C-alpha cells in the first residue's frame, strides 16, 4: 500500500498501522478506558443527516472563516498534538508546512517535539500554542512570555487534562516518555525497521517547550511525572482569568463540554472555546462534542467563537458542524495517521483530500460559503 492509494482517513490509518510500530500506532489510535467516547465521537456525527439545497449558483465556493480574529482559508485547523516526531521524523515541521500550504491554523503542543519559535519563524499562517497550567505561576508567566516573543497568535489552554486519562493500550505496550517497551512491543519494533532507521538517523528527540523540566533520557522526569508533579490540578477560574488578562491576545479554552463552563469562559474574556473530549483519550463516557454543539452555540455563540473537535475525518462531517454553528473544526487523528504513514507528503495529501471534500460537499449542499449553512440543513437520524 502506498500514499497514492490513500483516499480517506481509513486508508491513512491502515498505512500508518503497516509502517509504524504497534505501540506508536496504539498511542495515536487509542482512547481511555473502554474507548466508548472515542467511538461515540464518530457515531454522533454520522447520526446527523444533511439536507442539501439545490439551484443556488455554486460555481465558486469560498471556504474561508475567521476565528478568534484569525483569517483561515479552510474551516478546519490542525489541532495541537504531542510527540509528532515520534510518529515520523518530519513531525511538527510537516504539520506546520501543510497548514501553511492550505492557509490554515496549526497548534504546537506543550509536548511538541519542535520549538514553537522555530515553527513561528518557518511559517506565517496563524499558530496557536497549546498550554498546560503549572503549579509554578512564574513558569506559566515565562512560557507565555516566550510564546508572545515568538509571535504566536493564539493561546490555547487545555482544560480537560487535569490528570492523565487511563490509556490501557499504552499500559500494555509500555508506551510513554521515556519509552519502556514490553517484550511484545519490542518484537513489533523489529518488524518495522524503516521506522527504526528513520528514528536513529534523524535529529534526537526532544521536547523544546519543556526541555528545562522534562528529560527524555529519564534522568529528570517522565511525562507522567510531569503531569502529576508539575501541573496544577487546583487550577480554577480565577487562575485562568488572570492568564487571559496577562496574555492580552486571543485566548482559548480547549476541552470545554458544558454550556455552563462555556458561559464562564465568555465571562473571563476568552475569544474562543474548543468543545472537545480530547478524542476520547481522557474521561471515557463523556458525550460526543458534536452532540453538545447546538446547546453551547446557543448559550455563547454571540459572545465567543465556538470550535469543536473529535471524530472529524470527512468534509461532510465538517459541514455538519459548521451548519450547527461551529466557527471551525479541529482535526487530530485525521492528520496524525497521515503524518505517521508518510510524513509531510502524507499530511499534505490528507489536507488536499479534505479541501476537495469540502468544496465538493459545499457545492452539493448548495452553499457558496460557510454563512450559507444553517441548522435548516440538518436533521437528526
Ligand atoms: C496522539 C494524540 C496526541 C494528542 N496530544 C495532545 C496534546 O498534547 N495537547 C492537547 O491539548 N491535545 C492533544 N490531543 C488532542 C487533539 O488536539 C484533539 O483534541 C483530538 O485529537 C481531536 O480528536 P480526533 O483525534 O478524533 O480528531 C492529542 C490527540 C492525539 C490523537
pLDDT in tens, 26-40: 999 999 999 999 999
Collect all residues with Cβ–Cβ distance below 8 Å to 201 and sequence separation of at least 6: none
Residue 136 has a pLDDT of 86
Residue 35 has a pLDDT of 98
Give dist(CA 192, CA 15) in Å, integer. Answer: 12
Give dist(CA 328, CA 380) in Å, integer. Answer: 21
- Which domains are seen in the chain, by residue range? 3-372 (3.20.20.70)
Give dist(CA 94, CA 88) in Å, integer. Answer: 9
Reported as a pLDDT band with limits 50, 70 and 90, residue 217 is: low
Residue 218 has a pLDDT of 52
Average pLDDT of the residues in 60-88: 97
Residue 219 has a pLDDT of 46
The mean pLDDT value of the chain amounts to: 94
Give dist(CA 193, CA 222) in Å, integer. Answer: 26
SS3 324: helix
Reference 175, options 190, 192, 189, 158; nearest CA is: 189
CB 278 less than 6 A from any atom of ligand 1: yes
278 a catalytic residue:
yes
Provide the grid cell at 109.
503542543
Q: Is 274 left (phi over 0), alpha (psi -120 to 50) or beta?
A: beta
CB 175 less than 6 A from any atom of ligand 1: no
Catalytic one of 123, 134, 213, 278: 278
Reported as a pLDDT band with limits 50, 70 and 90, residue 323 is: very high
pLDDT tens column, 224-271: 777 778 889 999 999 999 999 999 999 999 999 999 999 999 999 999
Residue 47 has a pLDDT of 97
Ligand 1 atom 6, closest CA? 81
pLDDT tens column, 260-315: 999 999 999 999 999 999 999 999 999 999 999 999 999 999 999 999 999 999 99
Ligand 1 atom 4, closest CA? 81
Amino acid at each position: 500500500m502506498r500514499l497514492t492509494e490513500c483516499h480517506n482517513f481509513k486508508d491513512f490509518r491502515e498505512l500508518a498501522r503497516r509502517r509504524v510500530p504497534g505501540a506508536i500506532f496504539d498511542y495515536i489510535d487509542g482512547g481511555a478506558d473502554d474507548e466508548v467516547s472515542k467511538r461515540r465521537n464518530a457515531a454522533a456525527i454520522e447520526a446527523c443527516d444533511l439536507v442539501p439545497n439545490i439551484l443556488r449558483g455554486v460555481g465558486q465556493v469560498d471556504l474561508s472563516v475567521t476565528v478568534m480574529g484569525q483569517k483561515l482559508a479552510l474551516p478546519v485547523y490542525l489541532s495541537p498534538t504531542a510527540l509528532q516526531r515520534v510518529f515520523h521524523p518530519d513531525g511538527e515541521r510537516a504539520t506546520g508546512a501543510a497548514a501553511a500550504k492550505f492557509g490554515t491554523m496549526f497548534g504546537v503542543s506543550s509536548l511538541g517535539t519542535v520549538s514553537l519559535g522555530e515553527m513561528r519563524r518557518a511559517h506565517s499562517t496563524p499558530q496557536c500554542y497549546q498550554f498546560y497550567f503549572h503549579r509554578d505561576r512564574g513558569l506559566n508567566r515565562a512560557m507565555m512570555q516566550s510564546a508572545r516573543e515568538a509571535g504566536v497568535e493564539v493561546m490555547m489552554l487545555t482544560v480537560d487534562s487535569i490528570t492523565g486519562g487511563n490509556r490501557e493500550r499504552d499500559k500494555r505496550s509500555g508506551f510513554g516518555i521515556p519509552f519502556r517497551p514490553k517484550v511484545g512491543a519490542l518484537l513489533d519494533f523489529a518488524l518495522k525497521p524503516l521506522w527504526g532507521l528513520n528514528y536513529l538517523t534523524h535529529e534526537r528527540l526532544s521536547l523544546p517547550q519543556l526541555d528545562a523540566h522534562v528529560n527524555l533520557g529519564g534522568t529528570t522526569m517522565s511525562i507522567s511525572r510531569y503531569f502529576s508533579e508539575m501541573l496544577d490540578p487546583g487550577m480554577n477560574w480565577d487562575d485562568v482569568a488572570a492568564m487571559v488578562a496577562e496574555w492580552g491576545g486571543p485566548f482559548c479554552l480547549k476541552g470545554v463540554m458544558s454550556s455552563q463552563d462555556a458561559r464562564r469562559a465568555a465571562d473571563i474574556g476568552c475569544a474562543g472555546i474548543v468543545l472537545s473530549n480530547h478524542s476520547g483519550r481522557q474521561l471515557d463516557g463523556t458525550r460526543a462534542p458534536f452532540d453538545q454543539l447546538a446547546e453551547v452555540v446557543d448559550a455563547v455563540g454571540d459572545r465567543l467563537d465556538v470550535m469543536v473537535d473529535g471524530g472529524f475525518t470527512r468534509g461532510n462531517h465538517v459541514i455538519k458542524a459548521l451548519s450547527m454553528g461551529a466557527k471551525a473544526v479541529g482535526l487530530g487523528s485525521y492528520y496524525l495517521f497521515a503524518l505517521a504513514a508518510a510524513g509531510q507528503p502524507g499530511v499534505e495529501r490528507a489536507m488536499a483530500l479534505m479541501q476537495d471534500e469540502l468544496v465538493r460537499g459545499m457545492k452539493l449542499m448548495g452553499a457558496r460559503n460557510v454563512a450559507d449553512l444553517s441548522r435548516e440543513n440538518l436533521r437528526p437520524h
